[in-house]
């Protein structure tokens, strides 16, 4: 049934006024901010003439819908996510086995240049970055009598006076190292106390024997005094750097000291073997224990500290080379 036009208009006015009053009162009572709200009411009124009247009623304060700040998906495929390629640091030679193995690889670079053995002078002129763990015997000594065979090694003619200087300076260095390890409050040094590698008491016995033979014992020379002073300062500043010297000093003496002992015994001491080159136990086994402890500590060092330790090895063998060369002075 179709309502008269007058009745239709009457109901439209009534609905419009009612909606307006409800809408305004609702918004006035609401304490929440109107940020993105639009109320629309549509009524379709049909008249007898067949025409339709479509009217819209909306809140006067929000005549147009607000634009949403949220991105609307278009429905297409999402762009691929580009992941940054993870870069892995290149591992240093020997790094997986420990700091002493890294020192060994560096020693190989220091010991060889184009396949030839370095002399002591070459060690002094080597770069700070070319660090190593070479033994003190090979820094200045060779098993060959001279270089007539063209092997590039240095002729070595020891003297008793020079050998005594070497022993005196060595005693100063070993005494300094052992005193620092025994007296320091740094817990890192405590691992290396009573290692069995200590040499200062043995050197004292050897020097006393020479004194009993009527030989005057000289005072420490500049190389030994300088190195001992440097070690004292370094021990206060950096445990990793000091322990690099500690390990290399004992390693050098065990490895290269045998060359010195053999030559000196044959040429100067009539076959006598000094206490300096004698250990109560197996020297290699004692050194292995020290190596394991140093590797254990090295696991807690930063890569920067380990690199500094490797570079410090150059200074170790520079000092040791100067002391060894006292033998041929």
Structure tokens at 162: 């020079």
SS3 282: coil
Confidence (pLDDT) at 75: 64
Confidence (pLDDT) at 133: 36
Task: Tell me if 310 is assigned to some domain.
Answer: yes
Task: Tell me if 199 is assigned to some domain.
Answer: yes
- Got the DSSP string for 253-281? HHHHHHHHHHHHHHHTSTTPPPGGG--SS
Confidence (pLDDT) at 113: 44
Place of tokens 């290699």: 284
Domain of 175, CATH number, reads 1.20.910.10
Number of domains in the chain: 1
Confidence (pLDDT) at 306: 87
Closest CA to 249 of 305, 319, 192, 302: 319
Question: One digit per residue, pLDDT tens: the chain, 329 residues?
Answer: 454 555 455 554 555 555 444 444 444 444 444 444 444 444 444 444 445 444 444 444 444 444 444 444 556 777 887 777 666 656 665 566 788 888 777 767 766 543 444 444 433 333 334 333 334 444 444 444 444 444 544 567 889 999 999 999 999 999 999 999 999 989 999 999 999 999 999 999 999 999 999 999 999 999 999 999 999 999 999 999 999 999 999 998 998 888 888 888 888 998 888 999 999 889 999 999 999 999 999 888 888 988 898 889 889 888 998 999 999 87
Task: Tell me if 213 is assigned to some domain.
Answer: yes
* Residues of the domain holding 213: 171-328
**Angle CA 75–76–80, to nearest 5:** 130
Contact criterion met (CB below 8 Å) for 236 and 182: no
Contact criterion met (CB below 8 Å) for 55 and 11: no
SS3 58: strand
Alpha carbon separation from 129 to 107, 142, 237, 252 (Å, rounded)? 11, 25, 21, 20
Contact criterion met (CB below 8 Å) for 243 and 294: yes
Task: Tell me if 200 is assigned to some domain.
Answer: yes
Task: Tell me if 141 is assigned to some domain.
Answer: no
Confidence (pLDDT) at 112: 58
Structure tokens at 140: 């200045």
């Amino acid at each position: 049934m179709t309502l008269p036009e007058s009745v239709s208009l009457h109901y439209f006015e009534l609905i419009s006024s009612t909606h307006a009053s409800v809408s305004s009162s609702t918004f006035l009572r609401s304490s929440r901010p109107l940020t993105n709200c639009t109320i629309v009411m549509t009524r379709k009124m049909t008249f007898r003439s067949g025409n339709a009247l479509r009217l819209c009623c909306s809140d006067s304060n929000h005549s147009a819908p607000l634009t949403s700040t949220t991105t609307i998906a278009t429905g297409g495929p999402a762009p691929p996510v580009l992941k940054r390629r993870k870069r892995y640091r290149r591992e240093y030679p020997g790094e997986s086995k420990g700091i002493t193995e890294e020192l060994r690889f560096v020693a190989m670079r220091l010991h060889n240049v184009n396949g030839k053995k370095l002399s002591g002078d070459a060690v002094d002129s080597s770069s700070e970055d070319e660090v190593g763990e070479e033994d003190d015997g090979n820094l200045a000594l060779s098993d060959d009598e001279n270089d007539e065979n063209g092997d590039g090694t240095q002729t070595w003619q020891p003297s008793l006076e020079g050998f005594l200087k070497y022993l005196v300076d060595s005693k100063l260095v070993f005494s300094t190292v052992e005193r620092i390890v025994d007296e320091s409050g740094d817990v890192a040094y405590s691992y290396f106390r009573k290692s069995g590698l200590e040499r200062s008491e043995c050197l004292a016995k050897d020097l006393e024997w020479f004194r009993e033979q009527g030989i005057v014992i000289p005072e420490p020379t500049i190389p030994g005094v300088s190195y001992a002073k440097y070690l004292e300062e370094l021990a206060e500043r950096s445990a990793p750097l000091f322990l690099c010297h500690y390990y290399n000093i004992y390693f050098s003496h065990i490895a290269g000291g045998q060359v010195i002992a053999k030559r000196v015994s044959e040429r100067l001491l009539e076959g006598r073997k000094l206490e300096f080159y004698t250990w109560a136990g197996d020297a290699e086994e004692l050194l292995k224990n020290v190596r394991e402890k140093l590797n254990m500590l090295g696991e807690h060092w930063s890569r920067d500290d380990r690199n500094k330790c490797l570079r410090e090895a150059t200074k170790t063998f520079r000092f040791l080379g100067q002391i060894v060369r006292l033998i041929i002075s």
